[in-house]
Every structure is written in structure tokens, then in C-alpha cells.
Amino acid sequence: MFCDSLCGSSLRVDSCYKRFADYILIEDLSVMTKAKAAGLSPARLEKLDRFIQSQNIDTGKIPGAVTVIARRGEVAHQSALGLADVERKTPMREDTIFRAYSMSKPITSVAFMTLVEEGRVALDTPVHQVLIVPSGRCL
């Protein structure tokens, strides 16, 4: 039996099904999201977007947001929600540039928590044992 009615070729039906299965597999891989590839749930990430939209943007707490979630160095999810410019009604884009104010505390906190994660310091380590003044001496 041949399957020229299914795929327009003179392949045997079993070959045609294999080719069709390969096609479906390729299609599944092409629609496989970055989130799935990173081992994350696309549905839960969409739930996060809905939460940010409903609890922060729709309520007026913030005009817009860009979220980026990475796993193992690869971007698994990225979204732009709301407005970048409220007066002009410009939508937020994934490449919108933000001016960041007072970022020293969050950056220092992340750096310190990285040291904690590596076991180089403990959460209860006194600050004077960790900080170095510009002269190179410990406090």
C-alpha cells in the first residue's frame, strides 16, 4: 500500500508514517519553548506574567515591567508587559532601557549571598571580617 494520497509520495505506508512521525517530532521541537528546554514550566511562567500584570500593572503600582528568567546561563523566559512611557502610551519592549537608581545595595547583597552560597562566609560573619577599605587593610 502506498500513501500518495497522504503525503504526495509513492512511499510505502509504513515509510510515510515514519516520515510523518519525524515531521511531528521536528514540529514539536520547533515549538518547544525555551522554558521547556531549560526544564521550567511554560504555564507557570505565564502565570507569573499574569500575576505581574494583574497585581502590579493593572493596579497602577508600576506602569510596566520586563521580566527575564534564566537557567544555567540560558534565557528561559522573557516578557514585556505594560507601558514604557505612560504619557505617550508607548508599550514596553523586551529591549527597553531602564535607568537604575541606587543599585549598590542589591548588587552588594547578591555578591554577599554568592559568597554565602560558596561557603566562603556565613550569614553571621561580622562585617569587619569581610569588608576591605581602599587602603587594603581589613576594618
Task: Report pLDDT digits (tens) over 61-107.
Answer: 999 999 998 888 888 889 999 999 999 999 999 999 988 788 888 88
Q: Give φ, ψ of 7 to 5 degrees.
A: -130, 10
Query: DSSP of 40-75, one letter per residue?
Result: --HHHHHHHHHHHIIIIITTTS-SEEEEEEEETTEE
The answer to whether 82 and 92 have CB atoms below 8 angstroms apart is yes
Q: Which of 103, 105, 123 is nearest to 114 (CA)?
A: 123
Tell me the C-alpha to C-alpha distance, in Å, between residue 127 and each of 12, 38, 121: 75, 37, 10
Q: Give φ, ψ of 125 to 5 degrees.
A: -65, 130
Q: Which three cell numbers stand for residue 135?
A: 587602603
**What confidence tier does 130 reach under pLDDT thresholds 50, 70, 90?**
confident
The answer to whether 64 and 90 have CB atoms below 8 angstroms apart is no
The answer to whether 55 and 42 have CB atoms below 8 angstroms apart is no
Q: What is the pLDDT of residues 25-47, one digit of tens each?
A: 444 443 357 888 888 888 888 89
- Residue 127 has a pLDDT of 77
Q: Which three cell numbers stand for residue 83?
A: 507601558
Helix (H, G, I), strand (E, B) or coil at 102: coil
Note the pTM of the prediction, 2 decimals. 0.52
Q: Provide mean pLDDT across the span 8-35.
A: 48
- Residue 136 has a pLDDT of 58
